[in-house]
Chains A and B, each alone.
Chain A
């Protein structure tokens, strides 16, 4: 019995439902957050790669165009001028002036014969007669027909490069036209550098670094990452490719770089575009932070919500269980009460018979004393018999109370004719009514069929209310009992008196136990309360209407069929 209270471990239920619900709610949120995180990262990265690739291609085109233009100029000169013209220093000087005017940056121009001997030279230096036959670039130009040199710093510390092309003279020998160009590649590149080409609007300060290297990784233009011209870059030279490529790399400080590059054909140059991956991914990192914040707030709200709901539900469960235990307890109690009632009734009945015999025997002895002269004058005998009879009376009072208690337990269903029942009840009170000259009017409609109810209980209800009506009147007055059948298989009995009435504030408490206005004349305050509960046991209800000084009407409404109640 006591263990029943521990059928549920509410702490465990709470913990389990909290954990399960939280788990099922939070796992998908985290799952989607992680997916979103990865997708966004991939998108941002591929967007960056795409943009880097495009920028690389565009810049490569500019640089290639610059070099092509100068090569083409030289080819045009070679095609347009005869060998003799080019061997003519004044003519060559004129050509150099034209080149300077049109393209700018041309420093000098020279013609070298097939033996590597500088035949003609126009420019700031005196290089006539210099033999280049043992130099690598000369051998390259002889074998390939064109040569573009690495960048070198001239006397004025300005980066230069050399373009040389081979051409054939009418006599079948070949010559080389060599031009030194004060190249302004850095300017072309810096134009790219400074144009805010990123739609993301990130400042281009350090994020995009555009420069050229040669195939040994020596800087051909200045780089904001790797330093000045002719320094070696700290990342490996990317693999040879005909296409624009984008790779990921790290610099010597460990920073992640995104590197776009493209080889410029027929030159030693590789165009490099280097971007700081961290800066590029900044929007993504910012959105990642937002995502994490959002996730944290969501999870907090979910957990708080589940915490609240779980606590509420478990508390309700606990409350329900507590009530269940209470009802169980009450049921047990009323069962116990019923058992005691049956036991009491049995005992009372068994005792009643011997008690009745003692009563009669003692009465008989008393009678003998009373009727036989020889005992009449002994008062002690009489007193003793009275004492015995008094004790019997006391015992029988106890047995009656026990029987009365037991009788309250059950409802016994009988067919009832209301008219005869009311007459029966009135017969108990006829004498009192007559004595107090109270007029009793009975108006019970003939159409009320016999109905099901507990005869004893109904009698008690009517008796109590009519008694109350009598008590409300001093002398005279009338009590009217009306009854009619109602539409919903119920019967309504109205008992009105012309008594003192009940005040409005007392009316509220009239059915409460121990409420009485007759305490000074021995009222217990239980009469109407018992009446009320009896009516409830019969599935009925009692209402009361009253006006002080005019009278009171009790309205009893009863079902015509008793619902079977579980014992």
Chain B
């Protein structure tokens, strides 16, 4: 399983990628939409973890662009706006998917990754 982390905070996304690598997950990261798209063009990722609010773009827009490269790609969202560990209140954009609220608990993230990847079809 290859994971792509996208967040405009390089420190955050790089550290998170390193921590996931420690847990044996094949993780890559990008800190802009452009970088994320170029990376997804070179390599196939199974799942992307996207920050919703980024400069110049947002997670939903980026999701659609990434899906053009790889329609089978699955997604998890992160947001700084949330009241719970899981931000329940979704929107039509994300269907019934969960958001993860920053600061992200790494164990929750791994649970979520497994859950989404195991689900047939997914988002």
Complexed CA–CA distance, A357 and B8 (Å): 12
Contacts of B104 in A (CB 8 A): 356, 359-360
Q: Is the CB–CB distance between B88 and A400 below 8 Å?
A: no
Task: Tell me, rounded to whole Å, the shortest Cβ–Cβ distance linking B22 to chain A.
Answer: 5
Give residues 402-419 of A contacting B (CB, 8 Å): 403-404, 407, 414
Contact partners of A356 in chain B: CB under 8 A = 9, 12, 80, 102-104
Q: Could you tell me which residues of chain A, from 318 to 371, have a CB within 8 Å of some CB in chain B?
A: 345, 348-349, 352-353, 355-361, 363-364, 367-368, 370-371
Quick one: given A364-B18, A392-B103, are A357 and B80 in contact (CB under 8 Å)? Answer: no
Contact A396-B83, Cβ < 8 Å, known A356-B9, A360-B19, A371-B22 = no
Do residues A455 and B91 form an inter-chain contact, with CB atoms below 8 A?
A: yes
Q: Which of the segments A2-10, A63-71, A422-430, A468-476 contacts the partner chain?
A: A422-430
Q: How far is the CA of A345 from the CA of B84 in the complex (A)?
A: 15
Q: Does B1 count as interface, using CB distance less than 8 angstroms?
A: no
Minimum CB–CB distance for B100 against chain A, Å? 11
Work out how many contacts link A and B, with CB atoms closer than 8 A.
Answer: 79
Closest CB of chain A to B51's CB: distance in Å? Answer: 10
| A111 CB, nearest partner CB in chain B, Å | 150
Docked complex Cα distance between A420 and B91 (Å)? 11
**Known contacts A356-B12, A424-B96, A427-B96, A463 near B88 by CB under 8 Å:** yes
Contact B83 A407 (CB under 8 A): yes
Contact of B12 among A357, A396, A401, A424 (CB under 8 A): A357
B15 touches A353 (CB 8 A): no
A516 contacts chain B at the CB level, 8 A cutoff: no
Chain A residues contacting B16 (CB-CB under 8 Å) are 360
State the main secondary structure of chain A at its contact with B. helix
State which of B15, B89, B95, B103 has its C-beta within 8 Å of the C-beta of A364. B15
Encoded as 1 (CB less than 8 Å from any A CB) or 0, chain B from 74 to 96 comes to 00000011111000111110011
Q: Of A356, A361, A396, A460, which is in contact with the most chain B CB atoms at under 10 Å from its CB?
A: A356
Q: Give the Cβ gap from A161 to chain B, nearest Cβ, in Å.
A: 132
Within the complex, which residue of B11, B90, B92, B106 is in contact with A361, where a contact is CB–CB below 8 Å?
A: B11
Q: Which residues of B contact A44 (CB under 8 A)?
A: none
B6 at the A/B interface (Cβ < 8 Å)?
A: no
B83 contacts A403, C-beta separation under 8 Å: yes
Chain B nearest CB from A342 CB (Å) reads 13
> B22 to chain A: which residues have CB within 8 Å?
364, 367-368, 370-371
- Closest CB of chain B to A304's CB: distance in Å? 63
Classify chain B: how many residues form its interface, as a range: 20 to 34
Chain A residue contacts of B11, Cβ below 8 A: 357, 360-361
Chain B residues near A352 (CB, 8 Å)? 80, 102-103
Report if A523 contacts B (CB, 8 A).
Answer: no
Which of B80, B81, B91, B103 neighbours the largest number of chain A CB atoms within 10 Å of its CB? B103
Report yes or no: B103 in contact with A396, Cβ–Cβ below 8 A: yes
B77 vs chain A, min Cβ distance (A): 14
Q: What is the 8 Å Cβ interface bit string for chain A, positions 410-452, against chain B (1 contact, 0 not)?
A: 0000100000100110011000000000000000000000000
Q: How far is the CA of A396 from the CA of B85 in the complex (A)?
A: 10
Partner of B80, one of A353, A367, A401, A407: A353
Q: Is B9 within 8 A of A353, CB to CB? A: yes
Q: Is the CB of B91 within 8 A of A459?
A: no
A residues less than 8 Å from B84 (CB atoms) = 400
CA gap between A414 and B96 in the complex, in Å = 16
Residues of chain B contacted by A360 (CB below 8 angstroms): 11-12, 15-16, 19, 103-104
B49 at interface, CB cutoff 8 A: no
Known: A356-B12, A358-B103, A364-B19. 14 other contacts (CB 8 A): A348-B80, A352-B80, A356-B80, A356-B104, A359-B103, A359-B104, A360-B11, A367-B22, A370-B22, A392-B103, A396-B102, A404-B83, A420-B92, A423-B96
B residues near A (Cβ < 8 Å) are: 9, 11-12, 15-16, 18-19, 22, 80-84, 88-92, 95-96, 101-104, 106
Question: 18 A–B contact pairs at CB < 8 A?
Answer: A345-B81, A349-B81, A353-B80, A355-B103, A356-B104, A357-B9, A358-B103, A363-B15, A363-B106, A364-B19, A393-B103, A396-B102, A396-B103, A401-B83, A427-B96, A455-B91, A456-B89, A459-B89
